[in-house]
């Protein structure tokens, strides 16, 4: 199964494409969709939407997983990320794909076994699970790979299989 993980943002949207079969996973591709900081916000959303459509065409994922939004201290930034996430979800749905959303604590739990794991712990586990020499860059791509790995582990669990 080809799983595309997405870490939404409006400056940087990370993506990670993995191949998962039984207990084996491998990284196919990772990277980021970026937009210039000084650009009109609606133009930035258009770039994200168009680039996401192209990515979905090229990657041909069987499943897509995205991080749920977490509004911390900066609500203004959260609103922009929410708008970015909206155009990403639209592109995914228009491609005829289902999308599964995971909370940050679920992603950490699935990879590290601890819902409050640090970023360093997540990167180390991602490296280990995919047999990589170093952590993927940028960090947004590494986060997206973790989201894809979370989906691979969650969608193949006995509980998920029993619920289908």
Q: Known catalytic residues? A: 7, 67, 140
Residue 103: how many other CB atoms lie within 10 Å: 14
Element (H, E) at 13: strand 12-21
Cα–Cα distance between 139 and 67 in angstroms, integer? 14
Two tokens, residue 44 = 């930035």
Rounded alpha-carbon distances, angstroms, from residue 114 to 51, 122, 125, 147 = 33, 10, 12, 15
Decide: 6 and 19 in contact? Cβ < 8 Å. no
First-residue to last-residue Cα distance in the chain: 17
Cα–Cα distance between 146 and 139 in angstroms, integer? 11
């Amino acid at each position: 199964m080809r799983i595309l993980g997405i870490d939404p943002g409006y400056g940087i949207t990370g993506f990670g494409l993995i191949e998962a079969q039984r207990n084996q996973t491998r990284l196919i591709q990772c990277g980021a969709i970026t937009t210039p900081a000084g650009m009109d916000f609606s133009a930035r959303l258009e770039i994200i939407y168009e680039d996401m459509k192209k990515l979905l065409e090229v990657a041909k994922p069987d499943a897509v997983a995205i991080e749920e939004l977490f509004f911390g201290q900066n609500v203004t930034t959260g609103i922009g990320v929410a708008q970015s996430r909206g155009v990403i979800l639209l592109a995914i749905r228009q491609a005829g794909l289902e999308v599964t959303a995971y909370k940050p604590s679920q992603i950490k739990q699935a990879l590290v076994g601890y819902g409050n794991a640090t970023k360093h712990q997540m990167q180390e586990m991602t490296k280990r699970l995919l047999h990589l020499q170093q952590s993927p860059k940028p960090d947004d791509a590494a986060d997206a790979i973790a989201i894809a790995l979370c989906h691979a582990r969650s969608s193949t669990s006995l509980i998920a299989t029993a619920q289908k």
